[in-house]
Amino acid sequence: MSRASSSNSSSAANIATYPITVPITCSVFVGTSVDGFIARRDGSLDWLPPDGGEEHGYTAFIAAVDAIVMGRGTFDTVLKFRRWPFQKPVIVLTTRECNALLPAGACVEFMSGAPRDVVARLAERGMTHLYIDGGVTIQRFLDAGLIDRMTITRVPVIIGDGIPLFGPTRRDLRLEHLATRSYASGLVTSEYAVAYDQT
């Protein structure tokens, strides 16, 4: 049975009020075109390999996370998929009401608040590893200093325009390269740890 719930913070969306008191990891696992886009301007993913292409680490990654955190735009795109792709809980960050009919088996919660508030509330529930998805959401969590690891898979295609993975930043973000793997189809997956400046 599908189920949805709503959890709203009383704080403004860009002001963190909840301290993170227990360890929790936030990771990104995302595919991009060679020119750095995660979707076309209309959200279309028709340039991606069918069914995500060959196995490139996603199965092990998704098995290790407790929940997926995404923005409303990414959620609306996922709702158009032929089948619901997640068996884990999905947290949708939005301040708007959602009356969409959820697919069978989907466990979705709508939540508002600053990234640090959201992570703190999920950590209080005992979650230890979050999958952060969607361009704007990834950018907001990076800006808040919350992303620990990023796995970025480059798909061998140039689409020329679209929704970029990264946007303007207030400071340089240094990455520690952990590994890169290439696959027969041309996919190239690189893993990074985010090295935030502690000064």
**Is the pLDDT score of 12 beyond 50?**
no
CA nearest neighbour of 18 among 151, 135, 158, 125: 125
Q: Are 76 and 141 in contact (CB under 8 A)?
A: no
**Is the pLDDT score of 50 beyond 90?**
no
Cα-to-chain-centroid distance, residue 89: 13
**Is the pLDDT score of 8 beyond 70?**
no
- Distance separating alpha carbons of residues 114 and 13, to the nearest angstrom: 5
The two structure tokens encoding residue 163? 């929704």
| Mean pLDDT estimate for the chain | 89
CA nearest neighbour of 187 among 52, 70, 43, 82: 52
> What is the pTM assigned to this prediction?
0.87
Q: What are phi and psi of 136, to 5 degrees?
A: -65, -40
CA nearest neighbour of 73 among 140, 161, 146, 147: 140
The owner of tokens 């979707």 is 39
Q: Please state the rounded mean pLDDT for residues 178-183.
A: 97
Residues 96-151: tens digit of each pLDDT? 877 778 888 899 999 999 999 999 999 999 999 999 999 999 999 999 999 999 99
Return the percentage of the chain with pLDDT > 70, whole number: 88
CA nearest neighbour of 120 among 17, 32, 41: 17
Beta strands of the chain (E only): which ranges?
3-7, 25-33, 37-39, 67-71, 90-93, 107-111, 129-133, 149-155, 163-164, 174-182, 188-195
Domains of the chain: 3-195 (3.40.430.10)
Tell me which of 9-23, 70-84, 157-171 is least confident.
9-23
**Is the pLDDT score of 198 beyond 70?**
no
Per-residue pLDDT at 10: 39
